[in-house]
């Protein structure tokens, strides 16, 4: 397991100290699996101002398509060959096709009746139930042997900085036979890793992170939690690897509860930094993929400037696909760890 760091130094004349020379350190890190690079730089205090979220919720509720008075009337249904009942319903959670699909099978899972649930009020039980609803959908696709039922992916864009245009908590649910870019790269790299080392990359990663300890957060059931060495998010990424599980459909109800609990631990700590938004993706292999371990990546999102609505992703990330993280992942792990071990 190679954790490559390329140190950098920038010399500048500091106007705040009579133009004295100042050296600013930063690093470029390479992800041990894919070689994807990420810059640890800027070193700002990870603290942001939250906008008035209650006002934002109020402004958007009257025309929200996912609120209970509208969701059953204006969301689409699956055709009978996929789902005879049209939508999947469990309590106040509803899964239906996305009107604007991203995949052959592209669904939305509304996580409940409430239009706005603040990040720290998202209960593990609600999150786990929504994940379970997604898995019910994937199981139906398996039963009907749908040709696109290969990669079963759950994405979560929570609140506008993450790319969500709808405040109402919902998941994006995809099944398709073409894995998205980074997942495809991970699958190929994991295959090569197995060929070279004879072991599964994520098993070795968890063992290495546990031994080193600086980014390791803890274990809940058979989910192992750590901070990414080369994060994509400006405030780091939290990763959960599920021991022995290759793909989404191999997750048990207990795994879903453990993933949900760990996610709420991360949310609680990031909330203290003023963060109120995140992306979360399932990275899943297929049933043939012995080289893969299902992992979930949680990446907090923010605006750099609330007033201007400046996103935290600029040209470096968007067009070079280069990660930028504004604090050392090991320092972020220090803040998160007590929550996972408490
Ligand atoms: Zn709503």
Domains belonging to the chain, first-starting first, are: 53-304+331-341 (3.30.428.10)
How many angstroms is it from 87 CA to the middle of ligand 1?
18
How many angstroms is it from 260 CA to the middle of ligand 1?
22
pLDDT at 249 over 80: yes
pLDDT at 232 over 90: yes
How many angstroms is it from 101 CA to the middle of ligand 1?
20
- Please state, in angstroms and rounded to a whole number, the distance separating the CA atoms of residues 51 and 253: 35
pLDDT at 342 over 80: no
How many angstroms is it from 104 CA to the middle of ligand 1?
26
How many angstroms is it from 117 CA to the middle of ligand 1?
10
How many angstroms is it from 115 CA to the middle of ligand 1?
4
How many angstroms is it from 210 CA to the middle of ligand 1?
41
- DSSP state, residue 119: G
Whole-number pLDDT of residue 43:
86
Beta-carbon contacts of 95 under 8 Å, excluding residues fewer than 6 positions away, are: 87, 88, 89, 107, 108, 109, 110, 133, 134, 136, 137, 173
Whole-number pLDDT of residue 327:
96
How many angstroms is it from 139 CA to the middle of ligand 1?
27
How many angstroms is it from 60 CA to the middle of ligand 1?
7
How many angstroms is it from 173 CA to the middle of ligand 1?
18
Give the β-pairing of 37-40 and 323-325. Answer: parallel
Using DSSP, state whether 284 is helix, strand or coil: coil
Task: Quick: pLDDT tens for 258-307.
Answer: 999 999 999 999 999 999 999 999 999 998 888 999 999 999 999 988 88
Whole-number pLDDT of residue 13:
97
Report, as an integer, the average pLDDT of 213-241. 98
Which residues pair with residue 155 across a beta bridge? 172, 281
pLDDT band at 161 (very low <50, low <70, confident <90, very high): very high
Beta-carbon contacts of 30 under 8 Å, excluding residues fewer than 6 positions away, are: 2, 4, 6, 36, 37, 230
How many angstroms is it from 112 CA to the middle of ligand 1?
9
- Find where tokens 């280069």 sit: 322
Report, as an integer, the average pLDDT of 193-205. 97
Task: Quick: pLDDT tens for 31-87.
Answer: 999 999 999 998 888 899 898 999 999 999 999 999 999 999 999 999 999 999 999
pTM: 0.97
CA 220 from centroid of its chain's CA atoms:
18
- DSSP state, residue 42: -
Task: Quick: pLDDT tens for 101-160.
Answer: 999 999 999 999 999 999 999 999 999 999 999 999 999 999 999 999 999 999 999 999
How many angstroms is it from 238 CA to the middle of ligand 1?
28
Question: For the chain, what is the mean pLDDT?
Answer: 96
How many angstroms is it from 108 CA to the middle of ligand 1?
13
Report, as an integer, the average pLDDT of 163-190. 97
- Please state, in angstroms and rounded to a whole number, the distance separating the CA atoms of residues 233 and 26: 16
Using DSSP, state whether 100 is helix, strand or coil: coil
- Find where tokens 């290969």 sit: 150
- Torsion (CA) 184, 185, 186, 188 in degrees, nearest 10: 90
pLDDT band at 309 (very low <50, low <70, confident <90, very high): confident
Q: What angle do CA 162, 167, 172 make, to 5 degrees?
A: 60
Helix (H) or strand (E) holding 9: strand 4-14
How many angstroms is it from 11 CA to the middle of ligand 1?
51
How many angstroms is it from 63 CA to the middle of ligand 1?
8
């Amino acid at each position: 397991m190679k954790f490559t760091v390329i140190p950098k130094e920038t010399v500048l004349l500091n106007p705040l100290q009579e133009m004295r020379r100042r050296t600013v350190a930063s690093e470029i890190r390479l992800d041990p699996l894919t070689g994807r690079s990420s810059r640890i730089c800027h070193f700002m205090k990870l603290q942001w101002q939250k906008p008035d979220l209650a006002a934002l919720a109020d402004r958007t509720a009257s025309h929200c398509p996912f609120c209970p008075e509208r969701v059953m009337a204006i969301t689409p249904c699956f055709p009978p060959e996929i789902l005879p009942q049209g939508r999947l319903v469990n309590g106040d959670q509803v899964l239906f096709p996305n009107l604007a699909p991203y995949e052959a099978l592209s669904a939305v899972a509304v996580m409940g009746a409430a239009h706005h649930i603040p990040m720290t009020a998202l209960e593990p039980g609600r999150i786990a139930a929504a994940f379970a609803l997604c898995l019910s959908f994937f199981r139906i696709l398996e039963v009907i042997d749908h040709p696109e039922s290969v990669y079963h992916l759950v994405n979560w864009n929570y609140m506008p900085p993450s790319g969500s245009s709808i405040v109402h908590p919902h998941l994006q649910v995809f099944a398709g036979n073409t894995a998205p870019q980074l997942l495809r790269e991970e699958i190929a790299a994991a295959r090569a890793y197995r060929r070279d080392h004879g072991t599964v990359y994520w098993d070795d990663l968890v063992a290495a992170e546990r031994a080193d300890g600086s980014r390791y957060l803890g274990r809940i059931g058979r989910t192992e939690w750590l901070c990414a060495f080369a994060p994509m998010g400006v405030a780091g990424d939290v990763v959960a690897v599920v021991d022995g599980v290759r793909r989404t459909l191999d997750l048990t109800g207990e795994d879903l509860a453990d993933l949900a609990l760990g996610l709420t631990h991360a949310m609680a700590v990031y909330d203290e930094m003023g963060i109120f938004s995140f992306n979360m993706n399932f990275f899943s292999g297929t049933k043939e993929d012995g080289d893969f371990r299902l992992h979930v990546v949680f990446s907090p999102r923010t605006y750099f400037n609330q007033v201007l609505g400046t996103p935290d992703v600029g040209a470096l990330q968007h067009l070079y696909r280069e990660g930028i993280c504004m604090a050392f992942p090991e320092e972020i792990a220090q803040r998160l760890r007590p929550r996972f071990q408490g």
